[in-house]
Amino acid sequence: MQISSQEPKSNSNLSVMALIFLGFLVMIFAFGKSIIDVFVLPPRTLDLAVDDQIETGFLPVYIAEGASANPAVVAVQVEGLPIVPTPQPEQEEVARDPGLVPDRIHIPVIGLEATVIPIGYEKLQFEGQIYDQWLAPDYRAVGWHETSAGLGAPGNSVLNGHHNIYGEVFRDLYRVQVGDEIRVVSGDREFRYVAVYTSVVPERNQPLEVRLANAEWIQATEDERITLITCWPYESNTHRVVVVAVPLRDSSG
């Protein structure tokens, strides 16, 4: 009498298919949970005490989510004439020139020539408010805040960098003075700027209100400018260095 082996094979195939199906379900669940976590779980909490332990690198700088600069706070002067970034009146939104993405910077007075790369940010929360914490390149390069203005367009193009780590690209930024020239390049186009404001302000161990006031300088403006920021002094990160420069116009206009 011949015994058929078809039934055991069928059962085995069904078991394998069931295991494969179960594996797919686990993968789908894990993927779905990761997506839900991104959109549902709150950002990590901002901890100023932890920040203040950082002695090398870029002391975190925060701005409130979606914030723009207060024109009265970040007004600058060129040849005695104030340049105030005046907010535009409410109107139907129109497309604005985003400008060009910078890729190199040259500051002759401090002998700096460096690559510029786009840099992003991390969202954090503090007492119910969401803040953007800007990152800095982890090698010798200047970081361009990717949501800030591009070169040649109205707005604030923000550049940051380390001063005592990862190549120390902005080690000497504190030496830049009003009147010094800064050149920023995008592809084959060079944009020339002149420094019109420099400041070294306390940052470490300061309340959040003070840090946010310092960060006004990196928020969006309506006038065309570049803003460079780093930390100081070289041995620690107690202060914030801010340099603001505006387009250098030909004497002919």
Question: Which positions ≥6 away from 153 have C-beta within 8 Å?
Answer: 96, 97, 98, 99, 100, 224
Per-residue pLDDT of the chain (253 residues; tens, 9 = 90+): 454 555 555 666 676 677 777 766 666 655 554 454 444 556 788 898 999 998 888 888 989 988 999 998 999 887 766 666 655 555 445 566 789 999 999 999 999 999 999 999 999 998 889 999 999 999 999 999 999 999 999 999 999 999 999 999 999 999 999 999 999 999 999 999 999 999 999 999 999 999 999 999 999 999 999 999 999 999 989 999 999 999 997 644 4
Question: Which positions ≥6 away from 126 have C-beta within 8 Å?
Answer: 45, 46, 208
pTM of this structure: 0.78
Q: Which of 61, 65, 67, 204 is nearest to 134 (CA)?
A: 61
Measure the CA–CA gap between 77 and 71, rounded to whole angstroms. 13
Q: Which CATH superfamily, name and number, covers 48-87+98-247?
A: Sortase (2.40.260.10)
Tokens for 72, please give them: 């009265």
Contact 151, 186 (CB under 8 A): yes
Quote the pLDDT of residue 8: 57
Measure the CA–CA gap between 13 and 19, rounded to whole angstroms. 10
Q: Which of 113, 26, 41, 74 is nearest to 217 (CA)?
A: 74
